[in-house]
Amino acid sequence: MKVLFIPGNSPYPIFSHAPLATAARNAGHQVLMGGINWVLPNIASVGLPPVEITPLTVEEVSAFMGAMPDDPMEWAKTVGRAYAEIGVNSLERLLELAEHWRPDIVVGGGMFYTAPLLAHHLDIPSVRLEWDRIDTRMYDPGADEVLAPVLHELGLDRVPEPDLWLDVCPPSLRPENPLPARPMRWVPGNPQKPLERWMYTKGDRPRVYITAGTRLFSGDALKGLAENIGSLGVEVIVGAPENVAAELRDALPGVRIGWVPLDILAPTCDVIVHHGGGGTDMTSLNAGVPQLIANPEFPTEAVRKVAEFGAAIFIESGGPQEITEACQKLLSDPGYRERAERVSQEIAQLPLAGEIVVEMEKLVAARG
């Protein structure tokens, strides 16, 4: 069968869909992955064939992110509108693709409305694969405003439901109102690089990994955070894009700074400090590593849930000293590691992507 993946508008959705896409291809199926212009190299970096669905550039995406509202509700609506606009604008190009390479089934991300719309046009099954633990239904109100006229033209009153809805959230962290979805095991899908021994081996000190993230974790603030946490006598590793890393290496001579494949590094860590990103969260849980989630842009239910479960500490707004004290608590209290390892065991018991591919095959066969 031919499987078209349309994960989302940034690199992380690409990486979250890569394991299922790879499993489909390993089962002998033809796979393409669609994306906006600026994520095409990310698709290629995980060994999948990229196809452009819209010429949206990184500059345009950056301008959009820079103009985001501060209010969380308006922020979610704005994101939903943007995804819906891309979904509508990419339909024509995808229908042209289907004239030459007609998919038998399409897989889309949680709020990538392109997939169900394309599936409706082509009368093929659709699959919805959530990127992480965040419930993306909060973006739907903003999308509804954009999608309403398109749905009206198609004779629909809402976006078609997927034929298969996949949720990667481990059972203990599911929300009170969970998705009506089939569970699937989450597997890291990030790009790789030539490894050095320290990346996959544990040293003689506790290891704390800090992501660069946005806002707080960049520039001077990141430098102060690394210095403060380093004062605990731990090994500090900072994951940062090269433009940030280059600024910091001279100021932090004893700290390894740069991009490291987190799926390789995470099992060697004792604490992972980040700003609430879904990929870092899921990689930490998969490895059974306690998290320190500090200063997220907008705290989600998913962030609070992992802290309430006892696998993380959540600081909604705090400076380097408060973060350092929380890091010390995570290092000294084994309960956090025990809870994180429990979630890791739950993830390992969920159905693998290969099992999901079999279900996708059945959907295509049933549609005839």
Residues 6+ apart with CB under 8 A from 102: 2, 122
Q: Is there a shared CATH topology between the 2-184+351-367 domain and the 197-348 domain?
A: yes
C-alpha–C-alpha distance, residues 229 and 8, integer Å? 35
pLDDT per residue rounded down to tens, the chain (368 residues): 999 999 988 888 999 999 999 999 999 999 999 998 888 999 999 999 999 998 766 666 666 655 667 777 787 888 888 888 888 889 999 999 999 999 999 999 988 788 999 999 999 999 999 999 988 888 888 888 889 998 998 888 889 999 999 999 999 999 887 778 999 999 998 889 999 999 999 989 999 999 865 444 456 778 888 999 999 999 999 998 887 888 889 889 889 999 899 999 999 999 999 988 899 999 999 999 999 999 887 667 888 999 999 999 999 888 888 999 999 999 999 999 999 999 999 999 999 999 999 999 999 999 98
C-alpha–C-alpha distance, residues 290 and 268, integer Å? 12
The structure's pTM equals 0.92
Phi-psi region at 31: left, alpha or beta (left = phi > 0; alpha = psi -120 to 50): beta
Joined tokens for residue 274: 């980040």
Angle, alpha carbons 226-173-46 (nearest 5°): 65
Count CB neighbours of 82 within 10 A: 21
pLDDT value at residue 215: 43
Cβ–Cβ under 8 Å, residues 41 and 143? no
pLDDT value at residue 219: 67
Q: What architecture is the 197-348 domain classified under in CATH?
A: 3-Layer(aba) Sandwich (3.40)
Cβ–Cβ under 8 Å, residues 268 and 207? yes
pLDDT value at residue 85: 86
Q: What architecture is the 2-184+351-367 domain classified under in CATH?
A: 3-Layer(aba) Sandwich (3.40)
C-alpha–C-alpha distance, residues 291 and 259, integer Å? 19
Residue 327 to residues 42, 226, 336: CA-CA distances in angstroms? 32, 11, 11
Q: Where are the alpha helices (DSSP H) in the chain?
A: 11-26, 40-45, 58-66, 72-100, 114-122, 140-153, 197-200, 219-230, 242-248, 262-265, 278-287, 301-309, 320-332, 334-348, 353-367
Residue type, 198: W
C-alpha–C-alpha distance, residues 53 and 33, integer Å? 10
Sign, Cα dihedral of 310, 312, 318, 321: positive
Residues 6+ apart with CB under 8 A from 146: 81, 84, 85, 88
pLDDT value at residue 247: 83
Task: Show me where the domains of the chain are located.
Answer: 2-184+351-367, 197-348
C-alpha–C-alpha distance, residues 290 and 310, integer Å? 9
